[in-house]
Amino acid sequence: MRNRTKVTILAVLAMLVIAVVVAVQPVLACYEGCTPGFWKQEQHFYAWPDALCVDTDKAPPNWTFYKPIAECTGDIVPLGVPPQDYLVQDLFTIPGCLLTNGDLDLNEDGYPDTLLDALNYQGGDSVKEKAEILLRAAVAGVLNGMTMLHQAPGPIVTKVEAALNKACDTGNFNTLLYWAMEFDRQNNQYCVFSPDGINYW
C-alpha cells in the first residue's frame, strides 16, 4: 500500500512539474523587452533602430529593423526621417474605421500619427481609444523585436492588423485588449538598455 501511495505522489509531482514547465515556457520565449515609457523618452532615442532591412527570403511582412545595420543581410532602406517620426500607417495597415481623411490621427492633432505619437496614446472607452491601447503596446513590441531578443516584428504586425480589422468589422474590442495585454507582458521584461535591466518607465 505504501509503495502505491509513493507511486501516486511521484506521478502527481511529475504532472505538476510538466504543468509548470508548459506554463512558464511562453514567458521564457521572449525574455527581453522595454516598455512604451522607455521608448518615448528623448534620452532613449539612441536605442531606436536605424533603418529598414528588406529580406526577400522571409514571408510578408518581409522587412525588419536592425540595430546595428551590420546585421542586415538584405537591402538596407534608410527611413529618411528620424525613426520616431516614422508613421504608424507605414508600419501597420490601418482599417478605414480608424482613419480621418485617409490618415491615422487618433491623437487628433491634425497630422498623421508617428511611432512616437503612438507611444504617447492615452487610450479610453471607444473602439478608437482601445485601438490606441493596442498600438501603444504594439509599437513598443516592434521596437523591442527590432533591437533585442524578443518576438519578431512580423508576427506582431500580423496580430495587430487582424485585431484592428476585427474591431472595425464587429465593434468588439476584446481582441484589441487581449493583444495589448500580451504585448505589455512581453514589453515588461529585461530591458537591455537599462543599467540593471529593470523597466522603470
Instruction: Give tens-digit pLDDT for 98-123.
Output: 999 999 999 999 999 999 999 999 99
Locus of grid cell 487582424? 162
Residues 77, 54: contact at Cβ < 8 Å?
A: yes
User: Sheet containing 51-54: which strands, arranged edge to edge?
Assistant: 63-66, 51-54, 75-78
Residues 186, 30: contact at Cβ < 8 Å?
A: yes
Instruction: Give tens-digit pLDDT for 19-61.
Output: 443 343 344 445 889 999 999 999 999 888 766 665 544 433 4
Q: Environment class of residue 59 by beta-carbon count within 10 Å: exposed (0-12), middle (13-18) or buried (19+)?
A: exposed
Query: pTM of the entire structure?
Result: 0.76
Nearest-angstrom CA–CA distance, 192 and 169: 38
pLDDT band at 66 (very low <50, low <70, confident <90, very high): very low
3-state DSSP call for residue 50?
Answer: coil
CB crowding 86-125: b at 16 or more within 10 Å, else e: bbbbebbebbeebeeeebbbbeeeeebbbbbbbbebebee
Q: Average pLDDT for residues 60-67, to the nearest whole number?
A: 44
Note the pLDDT of residue 154. 78
Lowest mean pLDDT among 5-9, 70-74, 75-79, 182-186: 5-9
Instruction: Give tens-digit pLDDT for 137-173.
Output: 999 998 888 778 888 777 888 899 999 999 999 999 9
Secondary element (H or E) of residue 151: none
Note the pLDDT of residue 12. 45
